């Protein structure tokens, strides 16, 4: 199929699609007047039933928890896919990864190094805060997990490596990802064992507005935060040829 | 005026699709795919919006205040993070294709087979 | 529809067009970051702060980083192969 022919086919297809979209959008309720009853019902049940103040978090982890389980496993599978593609490639690699300079830091800009060093710890605290307060304010496991990932990436950008005593950092990140994914499923199974239905709540709900409230939602937030952090770090680590997740004495 | 929101969603979808069809670089193709994904987020949130309503966080507002639909926000926020990971998977496929065929041009990939 | 939402929608449409029309991946990563930020502002205007937070951390931080890293990996291989020939 030559390029011109492809453009012609695309032009016709796009024109048809645009017509269909316009016809479909005309049938939607006009902007701002959506009165879906399901969403309003969930919003009204958030505080009295679940004692949490963020309706979106409660919908994500409690009322529609099974959807989140599926999304979380898409994330897990994509990270495994990246691992399989890029790590298997490294075995028969004819192009070496960029060499690690042992004496000099990886980044050459002093501004980058100093800002990276200064911001790594505050961003870590911010990430933990966002994960922990997911059921009270905007935030939660997904956002906090990516913020936590950024904290560890800043360590790399600051020109140094992670040095965890015994575990290799890469192994720790993979363990974090696996723990998070399994944790969500296990909490769901705990719902079956202790409360009669998958992902049913089995902890007391607590008082509205407290950090420990909302039942299992904080636990699910933490497990999703661990998993997102581990998955994105593993992906970024593979794309960077594992340069920032290698133990210092290995090379 | 209400057609602006839905129209932008449709426009993003078509523009992203155009970028994919006319792409000469696999990495450019994956980024255009993220534009197509963004069109679905805009459409979902535009549908869930209510005039005069506020965010569905009850930390500081009384529970009788009208709020926008929380279900579409649920769908969108998990989707944003997950689709970025899927884009990373596609990027690593592009890197692997470059390793195998020596080029990132979609038109040349088929020609080098065999 | 408020004025902020209308302006944000127009900016998002323009930024999306710019992303599709920028051919060089390194430049496109930057434009994708701008697109992500404009999307986050649009989501805030639609009263969805959770989604805006998600979009900021992913679309303006993680995604441009991943694009640049993948592009760098490809460039590195091309440099080495050109050096070997």
* pLDDT tens readout for residues B57-110: 888 888 888 888 999 999 999 999 999 999 999 999 998 888 888 888 888 776
Inter-chain residue contact C50 with A140, CB threshold 8 Å: yes
pLDDT at A160: 66
Residue A98, SS3 per DSSP: coil
Tell me how many domains chain C contains. Answer: 1
Task: Report helix, strand or coil for A33.
Answer: strand
CA-based nearest residue in chain A for residue C61 = A150
pLDDT of the residue at A33:
83
Range of the domain at C17: 3-84
- Predicted TM-score (pTM) of the model is 0.89
Report the pLDDT value the prediction gives residue A221, as an integer from 0 to 100: 92
Quote the CA–CA distance of A149 and A122 in Å, as a whole number: 13
Q: Evaluate whether A59 touches B70 at the Cβ level (below 8 Å).
A: yes
How far apart (Å, rounded) are the C-alpha atoms in residues A104 and A173?
25
Fold exhibited by the domain B2-112: Helix Hairpins (1.10.287)
Q: Which of A105-109, A117-121, A157-161, C63-67 has the weakest average pLDDT?
A: A105-109
pLDDT one-digit tens code per residue, B34-63 = 999 999 999 999 998 988 888 888 888 888
Confidence of residue A103 (pLDDT cuts 50, 70, 90): very low
CA–CA–CA angle B27, B28, B33 (5° rounding):
95
- Angstrom distance (rounded) from CA A18 to CA A13: 8
Angle at C29 (CA atoms; ends C24, A18), nearest 5 degrees: 80
- CA distance to partner chain B, nearest, from residue A2 (Å): 9
Q: Is A95 exposed, middle or buried (0-12, 13-18, 19+ CB in 10 A)?
A: middle
> Under an 8 A CB cutoff, do A138 and C49 touch?
yes
Q: What is the pLDDT of residue A145?
A: 93
CA distance C33 to A84: 28
Task: Identify the residue among B4, B22, B31 best suited for mutation to test binding to C, counting C beta carbons within 10 A and taking the highest.
Answer: B31
**C9 touches B4 (CB < 8 A):** yes
Confidence band for A107, pLDDT divided at 50, 70 and 90: low
Got the DSSP string for C28-67? Answer: HHHHHHHHHHHHHHHHHHTT-HHHHHHHHHIIIIIHHHHH
Place of tokens 């969805």: C48
CA of residue A157 relative to chain centroid, distance: 21
Quick one: angle between helices B70-101 and A141-157, nearest 10? 40
Against chain A, the chains showing at least 3 CB pairs within 8 Å are: B, C
**Looking at residue A250, what is its pLDDT?**
44
Q: Select, from the ranges A35-39, A201-205, A237-241, B84-88, the one with the highest average predicted confidence (pLDDT).
A: B84-88
Tell me if A143 and C53 make a contact (CB, 8 A cut-off). Answer: yes
- Helix, strand or coil, per DSSP, at residue B50: strand
């Amino acid at each position: 199929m030559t390029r011109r022919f492809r453009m012609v086919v695309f032009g016709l297809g796009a024109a048809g699609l645009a017509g269909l979209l316009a016809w479909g959008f005309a049938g939607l309720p006009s902007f701002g007047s959506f009165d879906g009853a399901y969403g309003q019902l969930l919003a009204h049940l958030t505080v009295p039933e679940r004692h949490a103040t963020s309706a979106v978090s409660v919908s994500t982890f409690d009322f529609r928890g099974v959807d989140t389980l599926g999304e979380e496993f898409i994330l897990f599978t994509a990270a495994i896919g990246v691992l399989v593609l890029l790590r298997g490639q490294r075995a028969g690699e004819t192009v070496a990864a960029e060499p690690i300079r042992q004496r000099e830091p990886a980044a050459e800009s002093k501004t980058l190094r100093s800002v990276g060093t200064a911001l790594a710890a505050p961003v870590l605290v911010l990430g933990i805060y966002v994960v922990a307060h997911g059921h009270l304010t905007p935030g939660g496991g997904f956002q906090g997990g990516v913020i936590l990932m950024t904290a560890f990436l800043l360590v790399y950008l600051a020109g140094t490596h992670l040095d965890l005593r015994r575990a290799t950092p890469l192994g720790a990140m993979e363990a974090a990802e696996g723990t998070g994914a399994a944790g969500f499923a296990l909490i769901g199974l705990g719902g079956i064992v202790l409360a009669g239905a998958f992902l049913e709540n089995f902890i007391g709900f607590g008082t509205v507005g407290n950090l420990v409230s909302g039942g299992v939602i904080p636990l699910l937030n933490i497990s999703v935060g661990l998993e997102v952090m581990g998955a994105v770090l593993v992906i970024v680590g593979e794309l960077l040829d594992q340069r920032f997740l290698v133990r210092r004495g290995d090379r | 005026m209400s057609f602006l929101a839905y129209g932008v969603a449709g426009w993003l979808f078509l523009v992203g699709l155009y970028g994919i069809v006319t792409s000469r670089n696999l990495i450019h193709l994956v980024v255009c795919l993220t534009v197509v994904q963004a069109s679905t987020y805009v459409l979902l949130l535009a549908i869930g919006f209510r005039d005069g309503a506020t965010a569905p966080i009850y930390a500081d507002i009384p529970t009788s205040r009208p709020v926008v639909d929380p279900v579409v926000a649920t769908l969108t926020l998990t989707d944003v993070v997950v689709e970025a990971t899927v884009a990373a998977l596609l990027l690593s496929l592009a890197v692997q294709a470059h390793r195998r065929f020596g080029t990132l041009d979609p038109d040349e990939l088929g020609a080098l087979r065999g | 529809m408020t004025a902020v939402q209308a302006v944000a929608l127009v900016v998002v449409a323009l930024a999306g067009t710019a992303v599709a029309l920028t051919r060089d991946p390194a430049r496109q990563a930057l434009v994708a970051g701008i697109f992500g930020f404009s999307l986050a502002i649009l989501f805030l205007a639609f009263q969805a702060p959770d989604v805006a937070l998600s979009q900021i951390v992913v679309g303006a931080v993680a995604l441009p980083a991943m694009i640049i890293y993948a592009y760098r990996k490809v460039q590195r291989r091309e440099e080495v192969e050109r050096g070997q020939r």
